[in-house]
Amino acid sequence: MTKASGVVALLTDYGLQDAYAGTMKGAILSVNPSARIVDLTHDIPPQDVREGSRVLAAALPYFPAGTVFVAVVDPGVGTDRAIVGVDIGRHVFLAPDNGFLGFLQDDVRRIIRIAESRYFLKPLSRTFHGRDIFAPVAGHLSRGADLGRFGPSVKTMKSLSHAKPRVLRNVVEGEVVSIDRFGNLITNIPGTLVPGKVRITVGRRTLTGLSRSYAEAPEGRLLALVGSTGHLEISVNRGSAHKTAGVRRGDRVLVTRSRR
Amino acid sequence: MTKASGVVALLTDYGLQDAYAGTMKGAILSVNPSARIVDLTHDIPPQDVREGSRVLAAALPYFPAGTVFVAVVDPGVGTDRAIVGVDIGRHVFLAPDNGFLGFLQDDVRRIIRIAESRYFLKPLSRTFHGRDIFAPVAGHLSRGADLGRFGPSVKTMKSLSHAKPRVLRNVVEGEVVSIDRFGNLITNIPGTLVPGKVRITVGRRTLTGLSRSYAEAPEGRLLALVGSTGHLEISVNRGSAHKTAGVRRGDRVLVTRSRR
Amino acid sequence: MTKASGVVALLTDYGLQDAYAGTMKGAILSVNPSARIVDLTHDIPPQDVREGSRVLAAALPYFPAGTVFVAVVDPGVGTDRAIVGVDIGRHVFLAPDNGFLGFLQDDVRRIIRIAESRYFLKPLSRTFHGRDIFAPVAGHLSRGADLGRFGPSVKTMKSLSHAKPRVLRNVVEGEVVSIDRFGNLITNIPGTLVPGKVRITVGRRTLTGLSRSYAEAPEGRLLALVGSTGHLEISVNRGSAHKTAGVRRGDRVLVTRSRR
């Protein structure tokens, strides 16, 4: 990796209600007292590797070169699943080998199976590798340790099948992949596939055209726009599209090129 | 502003459930790796400029000189609303020009309309200026950049009408402006307007006298005291005044000078 | 204490919905701009000194030497309760004298009653000592100030009675002390008291044997394992034991040595 910046960004499903995330931070600082720890989020829905992966991919471009990303969404903890360290040059990542980092694809320069147990905390728990493995290794990486110190090189890692929109003649079919705190429906349809003259159907609701901002629609009315991750989003000006449209994650979204 | 301390304090309505706040932090660190980022809160109710403003005003005195405050409660994002940088000498603030910073009033030395787009991230989103405009500009300010680099001076900015208590002969009439996590009812009545011998009415409940601490009232009983922001608060010792009194934000509070 | 590391770890019941925790951080940074502030958690249930104490005890070993721990779970704020500073050599702690730090027991080298008011913020609130007393004192301690500067030595502090498991011939009787975000039931039964061949009863449910990881049981099935704090936990692979078993905090847990 590029020279370590000292920044360690954390993404987990631990939540903030318990002290799991806080304890990981103590364990990182125990190795690198100068680490600059940033919470990306700890509210990934429990065990939702796909959502965690989507969130990390969207946030990635905004972090300084030399950031260590620690992604712990780990339903397989305590089984024989591996932990991988992945170097893309600009950044290094630690995650369970469960497909989480598959989205990095062609940017990957090196994959290490994290196996050098002398860097792990003792006693090593079976349920909290975030504290006992990920944290100390991240601490070392953030001080500039080379990833290769932590285990053998491996050729591949698991990947996930992310639902991709289907593109037909006049129609793009995708789905709602996430609903944010505001009730905005975030789809997997890239903005580049959505023309200006368009009809969008989600649930029982249909809307026409793309807006440029939330405030372009009257309060309470559904609107569609290209959101901050570059994907189509359905929102309600000063309201919640999730509540207004009664739509849930996984629901289908149709984008039809409109003649009117 | 006084010499930048490196501290950047964030206040938004983004919540912590999504990675919006975390991504802003990455964007700040990308400009200033030494920035010391503090979350004031990300749980301002969506679009509630008035509440965000009240929270910031209360927290302000407790931050070191040279702090950069970033306040993103921004229902107008993507419209032609301006973003202002406001210098009060001791601190500098970034917020949408929607009245948020109006409470600074006479302390304001300089207002800049943030317009120098070469400091903004590209591509510039229409919905996430927290990441694309506020964060990089805050990063620069926290390294000591002069506010004037980011746009032209302007003479005024919008202000909000904060509900002020009405003072009549024997009576002060105010309202519940906020309800905190504990269910404490925070009013807009300054403690200086509340004499010791007093009758306080809120909702259907009446209580007499001011307490000096939560524990002065029996458990479960409503009590009134001057809270940590210097305003009258209604609480319940080891309980929730909100639940006990069935009172909501905006409900009227009457303080009557008592003869008994 | 060992040389201060600059790390200040916070544990409160303030929640993150309000700006109380954020304001404490500003107050700490006002005294020590280089303090490295870590949130252990702010979601201790309101006034739950026992749970806060349990969480702190579990997290403690994972923080670097020279950490200042600030624990504000303080139902007695504003009464004549004392605030204690406790030095165990490796770390120093600040907490209300309400039993919170009693678990430190024999590790305690020195107890100071925090009383030097020239270090407190003015005006001193009656309800927010986290900001006005704990924060500035923690700021000074994190810069290396000796604990003795902040008040007189005292011989003792209050302690709590933590529910301890009862050990009978073939049976260990304990209880559920906490339920985490995942619905895992955390008990007060040390893993050392749980043999491999064992029958565990909680609520109306009985399960046999200890698992080594969450994934050893079929999805949806209750399992028992020794968790990350070294105590018996009841979990559900990819689910919530709390929901599945209908068990609540305080419910009894029986561990019976099994012959089958």
CB contacts of B75 in chain A (<8 Å) are 214-215, 237-238
| Residue B53 clears pLDDT 60, i.e. is over it | yes
**CA atoms of B255 and B201, how far apart (whole Å):** 7
Measured between beta carbons, the chain B residues lying within 8 angstroms of A58 are 19, 23
Binning pLDDT at 50, 70 and 90, where does residue B259 land? low
Check B127 against A41: CB less than 8 A apart. no
CB contact under 8 A, C215 and A79: yes
Q: Could you report the per-residue pLDDT of B192-226, keeping only the tens digit for each? A: 999 878 999 998 899 998 998 888 888 888 999 99
pLDDT at B113: 98
| The total number of residues written for chain B in this structure | 260
pLDDT digits (tens, 9 = 90+) for B119-175: 999 999 999 999 999 999 999 999 999 999 999 999 999 999 888 899 988 899 999
pLDDT of C259 > 70? The answer is no
Interface size A-C, in CB pairs within 8 Å, comes to: 100
Check residues C109 and B221 and name the one with the higher pLDDT.
C109
Cβ-in-10-Å burial (0-12, 13-18, 19+) of A105 comes to exposed
pLDDT of A260 reads: 54
pLDDT of residue B134: 98
CB-CB under 8 Å, C121 with B62: yes
Q: Do A67 and B26 touch (CB under 8 A)?
A: yes
Q: What are the φ/ψ torsions at residue A48 (nearest 5 degrees)? A: -85, 80
Residue C260 has pLDDT above 60, yes or no: no
Q: What's the confidence (pLDDT) of residue C161?
A: 82
Kindly state the average pLDDT of the residues C188-209.
91
Residue C172: both structure tokens together: 């260990």
Cβ distance of B9 and C18 shorter than 8 Å: no
Backbone angles phi, psi at A85, to 5 degrees: -110, 130
Q: What is the mean pLDDT of chain C?
A: 94
Closest to B64 (Cβ–Cβ): which among C33, C78, C127?
C33
Alpha-carbon gap: C122 to the closest alpha carbon of chain A (Å): 31
Residues of C in contact with B62 (CB under 8 A): 23, 26-27, 30, 121, 131
Tell me the C-alpha distance between A147 and A170, whole Å.
Answer: 47
CB pairs under 8 A between A and B: 100
Q: Say whether pLDDT at C139 is over 80.
A: yes
ipTM: 0.94
What is the least distance, in Å, from the CA of B229 to any CA of chain C?
A: 9
Q: B20-31 and B135-142 helices cross at what angle (nearest 10)?
A: 40
Name residues of chain A where pLDDT drops below 50. Answer: none
Chain C residues within 8 A of B59 when measuring between CB atoms: 19, 22-23, 26
How close does chain A come to C241, measured CA to CA in Å?
14
**Residue of C150, C141, C140, C53 lying closest to C104 (CA atoms):** C53
Element (H, E) at A27: helix A20-31
pLDDT digits (tens, 9 = 90+) for B228-256: 999 999 999 888 999 888 889 999 999 99
Chain centre distance of CA C45: 11
Q: Mark yes or no for CB contact A15/C225 under 8 Å.
A: no
> Is C183 a residue whose pLDDT tops 60?
yes
Q: Tokens 């994190």 sit at which residue?
A: C142
Phi/psi at B202 (5° precision): -145, 125
What pLDDT score does A259 carry? 67
Condensed to tens digits (0 to 9), the pLDDT of residues A128-157 reads: 999 999 999 999 999 999 999 999 999 999
User: Are B125 and A227 within 8 A, CB to CB?
Assistant: yes
Residue with tokens 């995708």: A174
pLDDT score for B254? 95
pLDDT in tens, C49-102: 999 999 999 999 999 999 999 999 999 998 999 999 999 999 999 999 999 999
Q: Is the pLDDT of residue C144 over 60?
A: yes
Q: Alpha-carbon Rg of chain C, whole angstroms? A: 20
pLDDT mean over C38-54: 96
Residue C258 has pLDDT above 80, yes or no: no
